[in-house]
Amino acid sequence: MEFPLSRNAGARFEYLIEAGSTNDVLVANATGADAASWPDRSVLVTDNQTRGRGRLGRTWLAPTGKSLAISVLLRPVVDGAPLPVDHFGWFPLLAGTAMTRAVREVVDAGMKPGGDDRDEGSPVHEVTLKWPNDVLIDGYKVSGILSELLPDATGLVIGAGLNVSLDEHDLPTLTSTSLLLVTGSAPDADAVLARYLTELQSLTAAFLAAGGDPVTSGLLAAVRDVCGTLGAPVRVQLPGGNDLVGTAVDLDRDGRLIVEDQANGELQAVAAGDVTHLRY
């Protein structure tokens, strides 16, 4: 695959015929003897990832040629110095917002990437970010994000899996979907990827220009705008094993999900956890 559009959206772009994990490959490249040749915004992509990982140790598997595994290297710098690591927690939300915007553009553009020929009466699909980093179409997962810190903490690799042309028999779970199933036509993988990389670069540039401030940069507002978790009844499985059930009401300036506990009405800030959107 050539990816002519996407090659112009990254500092270095490499397509792999097969990879165990694009994140693993990019982390190794970014920290190995040839690390200098892998600058900020380097991109690795494959449509045949054999050992993909998701959050909480889950696997991400798909038939060859029907999904994209995308890894982007970021070496964020502010005023000539590396961005402090305590700001890195925003990047999964940043990447999730970028992917949500890219997928939304595909779905909204007449069911074809780059098109404008939506049939009159076509259904409107809701594309949202599920906190912290899953992209949903009508509540079904089409993409997931997994970020990993480089061993020397000078940067990070953001991995994304995107279901492009899976049919109903290929879906890994009953709560998954693909661009093909939603739009009804074979999507242009290069156009979707290029849009994601462009959105990722734009959001990152604004974030760094503001010194890593999510409010001044507009990042917090951008995440809130696409986050379908806000306002929803949720169950959060906390790292310690306990469940928090309530309503997700906001995000704080650290990117934590603020949940109003249904048991006592108290507000709790959640930094990590497995979130389920509840339907009553």
Instruction: State how beta strands 81-82 and 127-130 pair.
Output: unpaired
Instruction: State how beta strands 12-16 and 42-46 pair.
Output: parallel
| 0.85 exceeded by pTM | yes
| Residue 157 reports pLDDT greater than 90 | yes
CB 8 within 8 A of CB 195: no
CB 19 within 8 A of CB 25: yes
Instruction: State how beta strands 52-53 and 257-261 pair.
Output: unpaired
The pLDDT tens digits of the residues spanning 26-40 come to 999 999 999 999 999
The residues spanned by each domain of the chain are: 4-224, 230-277
CATH code of 230-277, in short, is 2.30.30.100
Confidence at residue 130, expressed as pLDDT on a 0 to 100 scale: 96
Confidence at residue 140, expressed as pLDDT on a 0 to 100 scale: 96
The pLDDT tens digits of the residues spanning 38-92 come to 999 999 999 999 876 655 455 556 677 899 999 999 999 999 999 999 999 999 9
Domain 4-224 architecture = 2-Layer Sandwich (3.30)
Quick one: average pLDDT of 267-276? 89
* CA 172 distance to own-chain centroid: 18
